[in-house]
Amino acid sequence: MLSDIPVLPPATPLLDTIDQGASLRMLTMVELKQLTAELRSFLLYSVGQSGGHFGAGLGVVELTVALHYIYNTPEDRIVWDVGHQTYPHKILTGRMRQMHSMRHAGGLSGFPKRSESEYDTFGVGHSSTSISAAMGMALAAKHQGIDRKVIAVIGDGAITGGMAFEALAHAGHERPNMLVVLNDNQMSIGHNRGGLATYFAKIWASKTYIAMREGSKKVLEKIRPAWELAKRTEEHMKGMVAPGTMFEELGFHYIGPLDGHDLPGLIQTLENMKELEGPQFLHIRTMKGKGFAPAEADPVGYHAINKIEVKPKGPQLAAPSSATPPPATPRLPKYQEVFGRWLCDMAAQDPRLIGITPAMCEGSGMVEFARRFKDRYYDVAIAEQHAITLAAGMACDGLKPVVAIYSTFLQRGYDQLIHDVALQNLDVTFAIDRAGLVGQDGPTHHGAFDLSYLRCIPNMVVGAPSDENECRQMLNTAYQHNGPAAIRYPRGTGPGAIISNELTLLEIGKAVEVRRGKRLAILCFGTLLKQAMVAGKELNATVVDMRWVKPLDENMVAELATQHEFLITVEENAIAGGAGSLVGEFLTSQRFKTGLLHLGLPDEFLDHGDHSEQLNWAGLTGEGILSSIKQAFPSENIASTLAMEIKTPVGIGSTT
């Protein structure tokens, strides 16, 4: 077992020979075991070089090898849920030499991606989709008369999603030829019931038992009472020693739980199940972070890691004794930490506050709240729809729920947000994390649409703070507001604003002018204020921190339109239907003729990369905003005129 992440490429003589699945299927069992060891070592090294999801991949090394060994991939379809666990799959399917580029611009995606490889049969990033997608593929094969195997691999966290159970129920009804593999890494589902369960699982997966079961079925189905009795007897026997009764009731032939790190056992079981007809369910138990001691001890902490920076070797020159060491740069708090601190502070003041998260405790900054207020903390697992309606029910009867949720995952609860919260004007606060571009996780996780899909909902209040302190005070304001309110903030750190310990109320729907200029006014919604100021100073433009998207500060917009020739809206959200669009709608309704330019995210899915790179692609850096303004108004000679005014200040008067 390894305890350190290798900083040099490990020796992988056998893995180096594996180009595609076909070459893997030529190996002996001894070679396959060697392959898993080499694969685990290389995975540790490659993730150390690139950063990315970590523990899940280590846990499915044996399963990945077994699936590609037994099934004729890519003709046979493997559909991975979420995709955190697919790094071994990528290494074995021709992308080993590209792993260093994982999650970097122009490199491999951190998730399965159809355009990247024919082995990536379905693009994912959100959870609980694999069974539905695999069932669709199985039915497509049936309709086309294709003899193809389809396998869905889902984790014990993802299977808590309602969509997964909808698919299981439908599959039990339609009975397609497909296999669902439940990778239970013991983070969610109940514990193994001991050696007896494993012993019986091996019996039920044996060729002898399967032959007896299928043969008896053909005979006894003609005698319905006898068949029903035999079926009930089998179910009761399984129910005594295995947790599979539920899946059997849904119409699946359940096998398990089995040791997911027993490669020969996995291969034998998959081989035995391969030719079975109808929906099959294989339950395996694995260890997240398997083979790397720190990850085994802390699977949550090692869910994903950053790139490992290599320390220089050899003696280092010490600073002269007379030299004064540079002051330590204080670490800026992440917006998630700002939220977590506010949540605890507010909960200490108001016993009605309830914190709700759909399986995002650590990511949303709720660890301290869960510890201090455990009786007021609800993690509903991967069930965004339920989280929102649960909050609605609480709000009906006097509680004040705060739902902490990523922007991209709030999309899943949109119907509940409209019908169960907003329609009833219920007092629910939404803390929307990961708003805007999210960096290496890429397009499946960008929070690119929340301003667009929230501002059109009646009764909603929507805020977009520009810095950490404004985020804290805006969360407090939204919480005190009697009705549904949402505050959106990005991943990572902010500009470093001083955060007040006090909790104050901001005037809802009131913007703040942060710079006075001429001719141009830049209206910034959210955390791009720093970038907007770069352009504002260069062009001597007025810059306004709009703060609120809904309600819009119409008085401020009208004043700016009266006193300036051109307005520019800036937001880290899709331009289509976003905050800028709202400004345009207002100006049109009031018959303003002011020139208007919208800057935001383009009408495309931006690929993974560093957040700074993504802002550059979208033209939302300070330089990008400046360039867009100059290009938008070339006939007005904005740049040269304003530059001249800055060097030789003269009044030009207001024009409309």
Q: pLDDT tens digit string along 114-153?
A: 888 999 988 888 888 888 889 989 999 998 999 999 999 9
Q: What's residue 217's pLDDT?
A: 65
Strands 52-53 and 304-305 turn out to be: antiparallel
Does residue 162 contact residue 131 with C-beta atoms inside 8 Å? no
CB atoms within 10 A of CB 504: 10
State the catalytic residue, choosing from 40, 376, 412, 455: 412
SS3 content of the chain, % helix, strand, coil (to 5): 45, 15, 40
Q: What's residue 227's pLDDT?
A: 63
Q: What's residue 525's pLDDT?
A: 98
Facing residues of 560 across strands? none
Sign of CA dihedral 413, 419, 424, 425: positive
3 state DSSP class of 524: strand
Q: Is 384 annotated as catalytic?
A: yes
Q: What's residue 352's pLDDT?
A: 96
Please state the φ and ψ torsions of residue 45, each to the nearest 5 degrees: -65, -50
Question: What is the rounded distance in angstroms from the CA atom of residue 125 to the CA atom of residue 110?
Answer: 9
State the catalytic residue, choosing from 38, 62, 248, 384: 384
Does residue 126 contact residue 383 with C-beta atoms inside 8 Å? no
| DSSP state, residue 64 | H
Tokens of 15: 């893995």
Tokens of 337: 């930490």
Question: What is the rounded distance in angstroms from the CA atom of residue 53 to the CA atom of residue 302?
Answer: 8
Q: Is 630 annotated as catalytic?
A: no
Q: Is 311 annotated as catalytic?
A: no
Q: What's residue 22's pLDDT?
A: 73
Q: pLDDT tens digit string along 192-244?
A: 445 545 655 665 567 766 666 666 666 666 666 766 766 666 666 555 455 67
Does residue 488 contact residue 432 with C-beta atoms inside 8 Å? yes
374-380 own/partner pairs: CB under 8 Å, 24+ apart: 376/347, 376/351, 378/354, 380/356
End-to-end CA distance of the chain: 72
Q: What's residue 410's pLDDT?
A: 95
Q: Degrees (nearest 5) of the Cα angle 618, 621, 625?
A: 80
Rounded to two decimals, the pTM is 0.76
Question: What is the rounded distance in angstroms from the CA atom of residue 619 to the CA atom of residue 287?
Answer: 43
Sign of CA dihedral 27, 102, 284, 147: negative
Question: What is the rounded distance in angstroms from the CA atom of residue 475 to the CA atom of residue 493?
Answer: 17
Residues of the chain under the 50 pLDDT cut: 188-193, 196, 240, 312, 315-322, 643-644, 646-656
Closest CA to 78 of 5, 159, 158, 138: 138
State the catalytic residue, choosing from 77, 103, 285, 288: 288
**Cβ neighbours for 193, distance < 8 A, ≥ 6 positions apart:** 241, 242, 243
Tokens of 27: 């190996």
Does residue 554 contact residue 600 with C-beta atoms inside 8 Å? no
